[in-house]
Amino acid sequence: AQSVTQLDSQVPVFEEAPVELRCNYSSSVSVYLFWYVQYPNQGLQLLLKYLSGSTLVESINGFEAEFNKSQTSFHLRKPSVHISDTAEYFCAVSWMNTDKLIFGTGTRLQVFP
């Protein structure tokens, strides 16, 4: 069955430190990959996505994620986090020609001063 795994439910980190949020999925066959972010008391919004082409994708606020087909991973990284990055992050995968988006269980990033 298709599945998405986010092993870390919570990631505490100090401001200006680097962070990596991990995401693995069950099959590398023809996938589209997404990271969504949910700030407190808000809905989800798209952070970045991989559809094709360069395996490294970037967001406007300094996050990046790399599609690794052999490891079926799409880890999210930021070299230096800010307090304002405190949020819950969801990895999501869509398999080509399906209607559904499968979400991971989420990782709560807590940035401390």
Interacting residue ranges for another protein, rule: CB under 8 A: 6, 9, 32, 34, 36, 42-46, 49, 51, 90, 94-101, 103-106
Question: 30 in helix, strand or coil?
Answer: coil
CA 106 to chain centre: 9
Closest separation in Å from C-beta 100 to another protein: 6
β pairing state of 10-14 and 107-112: parallel
Q: What is the C-alpha to C-alpha distance for residues 96 and 52, in angstroms, rounded to an integer?
A: 12
Closest separation in Å from C-beta 13 to another protein: 20
Closest separation in Å from C-beta 15 to another protein: 25
Q: Which amino acid is at 41?
A: N
Nearer to another protein, 43 or 113 (CB): 43
